[in-house]
Amino acid sequence: MPEIRLMRRVLASNDALAAAQLKVLDRHGVLGINIMSGPGAGKTSLVERTAEALGRKYRIQVIEGDIQGDLDARRVTAKGVSCVQINTQGACHLDGLMLGPAMGEIDFGKLDLLIIENVGNLVCPAEFALPAHYNVTVISTPEGSDKPVKYPLMFSKSDVLVINKMDLLPHVDFDLPALKKVVRKLKPGITFIETSARTGAGVDKWVAWLEQKLRARRKSR
């Protein structure tokens, strides 16, 4: 199976590249967040809400990963936050190599927060480290509470699980306690945040988590 051996080599060199890129963020006291989810769970809506809440208080840069198009970048810049759109041209995830050119463009000395929105995919992005201090996974209630059982790697790599589309809870079959139980086994100590990016409910808790991390990083400068 030559492709598996090659894949391991690719993963190892990506880990090294992402670690080097993270050092650039650390040198400037910038907080890096990697947001992952399946398609349509609400990553971009969460980024929009974040821009609304923190865009005047902190200097934010977004990197949007999409297979093609600039829909999400246009949504984010409409909120007054600068954004680099990376088109992966078919690739199912972002990695350090794809981020390379964007990392060269960004003036980290004038930044507080880098938000990387990964390609919508609950599988592959979990395998590729990015220059981020925290991995944030978004799951939405209509996807069903069995997702951690079926896509365990993503959840085991997450520091925060945002459970989004809570407004749809009355209309779908979603067992929140069962989900949390499985996720806690995959990642002990994970932080759960329940939101509706559409209505705005619970977004304050996400923003509070983010501000706490931002303040801690500022102090360490």
Residues found near a copy of itself in the complex (CB under 8 A): 2-3, 6-7, 10, 38-40, 66-69, 71-72, 90, 92, 119-124, 127, 140, 142-144, 146-147, 149-153, 165, 167-168, 171-173, 198
Instruction: Enter the tokens of residue 164.
Output: 């989004």
Residues β-bridged to residue 137:
36, 161
Q: Report the DSSP beta bridge partners of residue 161.
A: 137, 192
**Which residue, 24 or 153, is less far from a copy of itself as judged by CB?**
153
Q: CB of 42: closest distance to a copy of itself in angstroms?
A: 9
Contact 86, 59 (CB under 8 A): no
Q: Based on CB atoms, which residue is closest to a copy of itself, 19 or 123? A: 123
Nearer to a copy of itself, 113 or 122 (CB): 122
Sheet holding 31-37, edge to edge: 82-87, 60-66, 113-117, 31-37, 134-140, 160-164, 191-194
Find the DSSP H helices in 96-191.
96-105, 147-150, 152-156, 176-186
If the CB atoms of residues 94 and 111 are measured against a copy of itself, the closer one turns out to be 94
- Could you tell me which residues are beta bridge partners of residue 121? none
CB of residue 121 to a copy of itself, shortest distance in Å: 5
Q: What's the min distance (Å) between Cβ of 39 and a copy of itself?
A: 4
**Beta carbon of residue 176, minimum distance to a copy of itself (angstroms, whole number):** 15
